[in-house]
Amino acid sequence: MNTPDLSVEIAGIKLRNPVMTASGTFGYGAEFARYMDLESIGAIITKGLSLRPKAGNATPRIVETPGGMLNAIGLQNVGIDAFIADKVPFLRTISTPVIVNVYGNTLEEYGELAGRLDRIPEVAGLEVNISCPNVKQGGIVFGTDPAAAYEVVKMVRDATIKPVIVKLSPNVTDVVVMANACADAGADALSLINTLTGMAIDLAKRKPVLANITGGLSGPAIKPVALRMVWQVARAVQLPIIGIGGIMSATDALEFMLAGATAVQVGTANFLDPTAAQTIARDMERYLVEQGIADVKELIGALRS
Amino acid sequence: MNFKATVITNVEVSPGYFRLRLTAPQFFVTASTPGQFVMVRVSASIDPLLRRPFGIFDVGVMATEYPDVQQPFLDILYRVVGKGTAMLAGFHHGDQLEVLGPLGKGFGAGDAAEDKILVGGGVGLAPLYYLARELVKESRVHLFAGGRGRDDVLCITEFERLGVETYVSTDDGTLGERGLVTEVLERYLGNGTSAKTIYACGPFPMLRAVAEIAGRTGISCQVSLEAYMACGVGACLGCVVKGRNHAEVTPDYRCVCKDGPVFDYTELSWEQRL
């Protein structure tokens, strides 16, 4: 049979296949160039970026948990000036679309950041981080209150003509309410889920393991929660959805597509295996060939009831 | 690079400490330098999920049962501290695991003519063996090895076989002198030395004491740090340490995995607790 079509489109961004790398797990792309072919995946989402450089949290910042890990990095990043000076030149050398994850302490910071990125041709789109659980100001506040989410998405929407993806937090009572608020504010697509807030305790020391006390849980442990939320949002909202949460294999990725995702993000798996995203994309193609499926888009939302 | 390695031997060299020899591609042996590390995946399942970082104890090429075939290998020295290393201790000849490396920035060679001083605490001796093997080719090497007790001072005969002069100390006096390795080092330096470089690996308080001695005596010093890390390639930012110029508004965090694990002691902030 002919080579199957793995391409998908998210808010006007054409992806050669549905596999993206999740923000915060893939640096700025260059870190992985020597381990895998960056041209083999659908898109790269860069580490959460803020206007000014951000120090991040004290250490320990990460701890392994059964089937997952907790992190409380605290959005350490180089800030937009260094991003433009030091990171964008590399991104210019690859054809894979680069989506920049953005984060602000205030509404105005989100707007200013989006406005500056709007002028950078190497940036294919923005992913608005309204769901980081590890920073005291902003972040999670915007991600758990639908009115605040509406405001921040509106602010970014008005500041850029580039595609706007909003990354949703699972740490809410009803994710559909948040999804609707973002859709109403003009989001082009939704990505979910970010990490689940969690905690680890050291019995011997009677102390929390993380310096930040709590952190975000990622990895295979959260996949069932993520699948459920993607399925719920896909049924309720018309926007394209990017599924995230514990994707370690092509099987996991395809399950998210059945639940309604148009594309997926691979996160924690990049830490275990720097070639994970490439391998998953390759194995998705193999699955389509084996199953005689001509176009991966046939699987989006194709869950049988 | 990421490669599948086969266990050649996995020997308990001291209670709770193992020396693991793995097959490696020739590329690995050629490309690695002392002080670099590898990330080892001990299980194909998701528990434990993350790889474990280990300093490279040695690399080389060994004879096999076939006269024409030589086998490149990689050695790591590890202590059983948790689930991952306990699983690793259960590996036998012929078992396979995945290795990513060589990773990070290793030790700088320094001037060949000078004597070299190595300071190792516990399993921190691991990367110093590979380093010593390179340094003895051109320099006289003095090793200061410390541990809590006699079981925690590892592979001293291997160092001595290289021609390294060794000074051993333990906290409880069960091997060598009783006391801290840095006290022995300080006394040695007090008698005068031609050494201009110290290479150190061990617990952070030991490294801090060595850095303080280096600062006071004007001897240059490279330290190898240990840290929890998820990726090993500079992406997760889980393993950071504060650099010399760190401040909240002008962050100066260094990744142990990518900017290190070896740092010149002047690059780091020694105020932090690790």
Q: Tell me if B122 sits within 8 A of B152, measured CB to CB.
A: yes
**B274/A219 Cβ within 8 A:** no
Residue A165 has pLDDT above 90, yes or no: yes
- Chosen for mutation from A26, A61, A78, A207 (greatest number of chain B CBs closer than 10 Å) is A61
Q: Which residues contact B133 (CB under 8 A, 6 or more apart)?
A: B34, B58, B162
CA pair distance B82, A209, nearest whole angstrom: 15
Domain with CATH 2.10.240.10 in chain B: 228-262
ipTM: 0.91
Q: Tell me if A109 sits within 8 A of A49, measured CB to CB.
A: no
Residue B250 distance to chain A (closest CA, Å):
7
Mean pLDDT along residues A133-146:
67
Q: Residue B193: what pLDDT?
A: 82
Nearest residue in A to B1, CA atom: A35
For the stretch A274-289, pLDDT in tens is 999 999 999 999 999 9
| B225 inside 8 A of chain A by CB | no
Residue A77 distance to chain B (closest CA, Å):
9
Sort out which chain A residues have CB atoms less than 8 A from B227's CB and list them.
59
For the stretch A11-38, pLDDT in tens is 999 999 999 999 999 999 999 999 999 9
Q: Tell me if B110 sits within 8 A of B39, measured CB to CB.
A: no
Q: Tell me if B17 sits within 8 A of B78, measured CB to CB.
A: yes
| B100 inside 8 A of chain A by CB | yes
For the stretch A234-247, pLDDT in tens is 999 999 999 999 99
CA pair distance B201, B211, nearest whole angstrom: 11
Residue B3 distance to chain A (closest CA, Å):
11
pLDDT tens per residue across all 274 residues of chain B: 899 999 999 999 999 999 999 999 999 999 999 999 999 999 888 889 999 999 999 999 999 889 889 999 999 999 999 999 999 999 999 999 999 999 999 999 877 778 999 999 999 999 999 999 999 999 999 999 999 999 999 889 999 999 999 999 999 999 999 999 999 999 998 888 888 899 999 999 999 999 999 999 999 999 999 999 999 999 999 999 999 988 877 888 999 999 999 999 999 999 877 7
Query: Per DSSP, which regions of chain B are E strands?
Result: 2-14, 17-23, 37-41, 52-63, 70-79, 96-103, 116-121, 141-147, 165-170, 177-178, 197-201, 220-224, 240-242, 253-255, 262-264
For the stretch A72-124, pLDDT in tens is 998 889 899 999 999 999 999 999 999 999 999 888 999 999 999 999 999 99
Q: Is the dihedral of CA A227, A231, A237, A241 positive or negative?
A: positive
Sort out which chain B residues have CB atoms less than 8 A from A29's CB and list them.
none
Q: Residue B44: what pLDDT?
A: 86
For the stretch A178-233, pLDDT in tens is 999 999 999 999 999 999 999 999 999 999 999 999 999 999 999 999 999 999 99
- Encode chain A in three state secondary structure: CCCCECCEEECCEEECCCEEECCCCCCCCHHHCCCCCHHHCCEEEEEEECCCCECCCCCCCEEEECCEEEECCCCCECHHHHHHHHHHHHHCCCCCCEEEEECCCCHHHHHHHHHHHHCCCCEEEEEEECCCCCCCCCCHHHHHCHHHHHHHHHHHHHHCCCCEEEECCCCCCCHHHHHHHHHHCCCCEEEECCCEEEECEECCCCEECCCCCEEEEECHHHHHHHHHHHHHHHHHCCCCEEEECCCCCHHHHHHHHHCCCCEEEECCHHHHCCCHHHHHHHHHHHHHHHHCCCEHHHHCCCCCC
Q: Which residues contact B203 (CB under 8 A, 6 or more apart)?
A: B121, B122, B124
Q: Residue A134: what pLDDT?
A: 53
Q: Residue B248: what pLDDT?
A: 75
Q: Residue B250: what pLDDT?
A: 80
CA pair distance A117, A125, nearest whole angstrom: 9
Can you list the domains of chain A with their CATH numbers?
Answer: 8-54+75-196+217-299 (3.20.20.70)
- What is the band of A135 on the pLDDT scale with cuts at 50, 70, 90? low
Phi, psi torsion values for A264, nearest 5 degrees: -135, 160
For the stretch B230-252, pLDDT in tens is 999 999 999 999 999 888 778 88
Q: What is the CA radius of gyration of chain A?
A: 18
- What is the band of A132 on the pLDDT scale with cuts at 50, 70, 90? low
Q: Tell me the three state secondary structure of residue B262.
A: strand
Nearest residue in B to A246, CA atom: B46
Q: What is the DSSP letter of B68?
A: T
Residue B203, sorted as left (phi over 0), alpha (psi -120 to 50) or beta, turns out to be beta
Q: Residue B192: what pLDDT?
A: 83
Q: Residue A163: what pLDDT?
A: 98
Q: Residue B131: what pLDDT?
A: 96
Q: Residue A131: what pLDDT?
A: 73
Residue A302 distance to chain B (closest CA, Å):
28
Nearest residue in B to A72, CA atom: B238
Check: CATH 2.40.30.10 for B2-103? yes
**A219/B49 Cβ within 8 A:** yes
- The more confident residue out of A250 and B43 is A250
**B233/A69 Cβ within 8 A:** no
Q: Tell me the three state secondary structure of residue B215.
A: helix
- What is the band of A1 on the pLDDT scale with cuts at 50, 70, 90? low
CA torsion angle for A201, A205, A210, A213 (degrees, to 10)? 70
- Chosen for mutation from B42, B236, B239, B241 (greatest number of chain A CBs closer than 10 Å) is B236
CA pair distance A134, A131, nearest whole angstrom: 9
Nearest residue in B to A28, CA atom: B235
Q: Tell me the three state secondary structure of residue B272.
A: coil
Q: Which helix (H) or strand (E) holds B153?
A: none
Q: Tell me the three state secondary structure of residue B51.
A: coil
CATH superfamily name and code, B228-262: Dihydroorotate dehydrogenase, electron transfer subunit (2.10.240.10)
Mean pLDDT along residues A62-81:
94
| Of residues A185, A127, A194, the one with CA closest to residue A153 | A185
Q: Using alpha carbons only, what angle is made at residue A204 by residues A198 and A205, rounded to the nearest 5 degrees?
A: 70
Name the packing angle between helices B181-190 and B204-217 (round to 10°).
Answer: 10
CB-CB neighbours of B252 under 10 Å: 17
Q: Is the dihedral of CA A245, A248, A252, A256 positive or negative?
A: positive
Residue A140 has pLDDT above 70, yes or no: no
Sort out which chain A residues have CB atoms less than 8 A from B230's CB and list them.
62, 69, 71, 268, 271
Selecting among A132, A153, A239, A299, the annotated active-site residue is: A132
CA pair distance A38, A74, nearest whole angstrom: 26
**A66/B47 Cβ within 8 A:** yes
Q: Tell me if A199 sits within 8 A of A70, measured CB to CB.
A: yes
Q: Residue B191: what pLDDT?
A: 85
Residue A217 distance to chain B (closest CA, Å):
13
The verdict on whether A132 is a catalytic residue reads yes
- B212 to A209, A285, B117, B193, B219: CA distances (angstroms): 29, 57, 15, 17, 10
Mean pLDDT along residues A115-143:
80
Amino acid residing at A290 = E
CA pair distance B35, B48, nearest whole angstrom: 25
**B47/A67 Cβ within 8 A:** yes
Phi, psi torsion values for A10, nearest 5 degrees: -120, 110
CA pair distance A183, A166, nearest whole angstrom: 9
Q: Tell me the three state secondary structure of residue B54.
A: strand
Which class would CATH give B116-226? alpha beta
Q: How far apart are the first and last CA of chain A?
A: 29
Residue B44 distance to chain A (closest CA, Å):
10
Q: Tell me the three state secondary structure of residue B245.
A: coil
**B258/A31 Cβ within 8 A:** yes
| B250 inside 8 A of chain A by CB | yes
Q: Residue B265: what pLDDT?
A: 96
Sort out which chain B residues have CB atoms less than 8 A from A271's CB and list them.
50-51, 230-231, 235-236
Q: Which residue has the tokens 């060949």?
A: B112
Nearest residue in A to B274, CA atom: A59
